[in-house]
Structure 1
Amino acid sequence: MSLRTRIYIIALLLSSLACQGSGIAKTFSLQDSLAIYQPGKSYTFKVESAIGEYALAIEYIAGDAASKLILTSPHGGNLKPEFMHTRSKDFVSAANEVDYGDTESFSAVSDSKTLELTLALAEEIRKATGLRPHVVLNHLHRSKLDANRALSLAAQGDKNAIAAWKAFHQYIDDAKSQVAKNGPGLVLDIHGNAHRPQRTEVGLLLSGKDFGTGDLEKLADKSSVRALVRSGRATMKELTTGDTALGTLLNQNVFTATPSKAYPNPIDANAFPDGRYFNGGYNTARHGSRFSGNISAIQLEFNSDVRMNDKSRNDYARAIAKSIIGFINKYFN
């Protein structure tokens, strides 16, 4: 575990002695906090009420040392501890936060079954490649914590939510540190959408309107895969609409996906008359390479058919894993 994580844990333990009211989150056990992450082992962060009630908040399942991939699920949790504040759309965000992306829009709707899909993807990737990806899960319902927003709106002042938010992003940072030892890496932020017609959306921080400009190469610096383009490993065209773009691979193996070779414009009125497209948010910006680093990030918004049916989800996960592995092999090996 990184020195920064240990310092963070110690600070939380000290602060918890002075906190009253709703209580502060319990951290990892002492044994876990002093150990190096072990591949395949689950590390958990729990929240606690003033009278000693606990609830699982954040979980990190450590990946193998050679893995280039981190899977995150910020909106798939369903736990609603009563001792935690319920987030409100009337909350006013802090004005001085670092703007990594979407810091203002409010939602308390969960991305149902995306936590289960993330775990299924991790298992299928492990079986196919022999390597466990790193996995970071938020088990709290979005009404209690939005782990894909800046801290102010994400937690709305609740001490448990604040601590859980910090743990979620610290786990990702620790996983990124491990991945970076192997060179370039990738974070896939797993979400769900209810857009119609159904499709999977690949978000690289480019807006829907950007795809109508005709020259995506000029927009590489605003994307979450900036490092890939600047390194010469890929062009923006290859990463969005090429034969080995993640959307193209998903479209071949799973379902309608955009942007892709078959559906290059995610707001094409003929293909997608609802005009909706989720292009990535806080996590994609913060943990991708738009601002710094060699780890890129992509937000994947999966349609309901892919994730909601417990009987068919694993079959979809196997096909999605095939697409992800093809993308990793092309651009990160």
Structure 2
Amino acid sequence: MAAKSPRKKAATRTTTRRPRRKKAEPASKGLSAAEVASEAATPPVELVQGIQEDGGQVLSVYRDPLGAHTVVFAALPIDKVEPTPYQRDLSEPHVKRLAAAMERLDRFLDPVIAIRKEGRYWTPNGNHRLHASKLLGGKSIMALVLPEEDVAYQILALNTEKAHNLKERSLEVIRMHRGLTGARAGRESEFAHLFEEPAFLTLGAAYEKRPRFSGGAYNPFIKRAESFLDLPLAEALQVREARADKLLELDDAVATVVDGLKARGLQSPYLKNFVVARINFLRFKKEGPVEFDPTVARMISSARKFNLDKVNREDIGRMSGPLLAEDPE
């Protein structure tokens, strides 16, 4: 009886883990209640005067309990408040649900955050509450007005009233990039803390060009291949546009394969994910640098050479569960 060959050990992948956040000691950071309301909170005179000139009313000035930053609590004319230009599109059903809840309670208890800009007020995280108040005929809205204009760009960190999906997050980030381009000097990499992930920029540019783009199917390899660019914002934006075009070219090639599989009677909601997984050679490349352009070019080539005859129902079933039954003739 032949001896069994020793089984090869699976290659282990080394991953760099983020250090765990140390648990803070109770009551060890920030301001006490008395310090929040103390006279140490210096009123931003220009902002306070501006709010009053705009028809608003300043109710109080305090320091936020975490970072001791100055905050102005004010009632603002609702017609002077608008969302930042970089936000996701409004969800009408969500606005109606909010309005119904507010109407039942007969109260508005969740102030929006706002920054003053040329006599108007941008809110980076209160668009749905703002429109719900307008839907109910509100005249004013309560706001925490911050002196720092940069807060307007902190959308992803501040917007918690409705969870973002990949499309919404990506569109917000690329819109933010466009807003910063021309308005600010600097390189894309210097704004990494605002953009969060470089993949959002390229995906966002693709979603702008093709709203029904299936970004989720491509996001795993894009996250590995993308990084923030050490280029001026305007030049970086051109690169993002070019990469989005390449992604859409890949999407077209994948769609052709999916159509071919459907023509052979294979029906599944996961066909696109299956095809992308098949042509994603990074599955076998666990380590080492990954560059965007060569990666996408190779995947486009693989999609165009995809052999439909080598795919059977069991292959797709193993990946996504039972396939859908074929429609009767």
Scaled by the length of structure 2, what TM-score is found?
Answer: 0.24
Q: Which has the higher helix share?
A: 2
Q: Rg larger in 1 or in 2? A: 2
